[in-house]
Structure 1
């Protein structure tokens, strides 16, 4: 099935270029030039990826990302002309899945788009064979359909959050370092970006823990990393 991405960027010339590039890869793109219009489009259009600019007038990329995460787990690739690492950390901690700094190589852009779409569609693929599950007290993780259920209620997770949770749960009882988590989930050398991993853990705790400030599933092992427990 042909994939569709949503591009939200006020640079009209760049949007035309990106739309043409993904079209050459058999990917459709719908384009909007403001966060408000992009959010309205997301509410009525099924997409497999959002490409989101940080610096936009009115509602900037960070504010738009926050609204996206209220309604959708679809992966987000953020674009920015700013080089400060604090912006990257802020975006990733807010729920972005990847980050590119302008100007960027078009081939790298296409590679990241394809990778994010592939991960998202794989995570959301339905298995007709009856799926494998990881079951804990009050928590069920369906590995084939990528459905998370907490106390009987389905909880939607962005692709990267699900991958982090899955990796932790599959290694229940084992202490995993931030480096191990990063390299397993992002599949690239560790960038010593502890704040990014901590942000993902914090968001997961808010969604699965009875008390995020006193976690029972994802526990911190001081000076080492994190360990997943069965809960109480």
Structure 2
């Protein structure tokens, strides 16, 4: 079955170009030029990837992303004409999985599309082993449903948050550097964006820790990285 992509961008020329490239690779592409319509489609249909422009009329890309993350962990690749690094950081912290600044090379975009869809379908595929469900005191992480139960309450994390948590929890007691975490989750060379990883860890602690200031599960190893507590 072909992967389905939702393209949300008001640049019609760019959309025509991307549609041609994506359909040549046998993706099924649905397009809208409006943020509100994009949210409506994301609520109604299931997609394997959303390509989302930041600068949209009516409802901008960050607000669209916020609405999408309420209902889905589908990977989101954000596009923007802005060059400020804060926009990239804000987009990633808001739940985007990857980010490209216009103008970009279409071949680079295609490489990122393949990477995001491959990781998403792998992590959401058929049960692979007994290791697909990790249980700790007060915390259960289910890779098959991508739902985390914290003190018996279900919570849904967006894709990057879940992948980071599952990676850490799959290696309890092991110190994992920021580089290791980045290359495992992002599946690309380390970008030396420590603040980005720290932001995700901070959000995870707010979700799963009884006291984020004194974390039980995700422990900081100063100057090195993070370790999931093997004693829980």
Q: TM-score, normalised by structure 1?
A: 0.91
Q: After TM superposition, give the deviation of residue 158 of structure 1 in Å.
A: 2.6
Residue 139 of structure 1 pairs with residue 121 of structure 2 = no
Query: Per-residue displacement from partner, 1:162-188 (whole Å, max 9, x unpaired)?
Result: 221122112212222212211222222
Greater shift, 154-163 or 67-76, is seen at: 154-163
Return the alpha-carbon distance in structure 2 between the equivalents of residues 146 and 35 of structure 1: 26
Match of 1:125 in 2: 125
Alignment of structure 1 residues 101-116 onto 2, 5 Å: 101-116=101-116
Moved over 6 A (4+): none
Alignment of structure 1 residues 207-226 onto 2, 5 Å: 207-226=207-226
RMSD: 2.0
Alignment of structure 1 residues 1-150 onto 2, 5 Å: 1-127=1-127, 132-143=132-143, 146-150=146-150
Greater shift, 56-65 or 26-35, is seen at: 56-65
Greater shift, 43-52 or 202-211, is seen at: 202-211
Return the alpha-carbon distance in structure 1 between the equivalents of residues 46 and 174 of structure 2: 38
> Contact 1:133/1:143 (CA < 8 Å) preserved in 2?
yes
- Number of aligned residue pairs: 232
Residue 194 of structure 1 pairs with residue 194 of structure 2 = yes
Unaligned runs of 5+ in 1: none
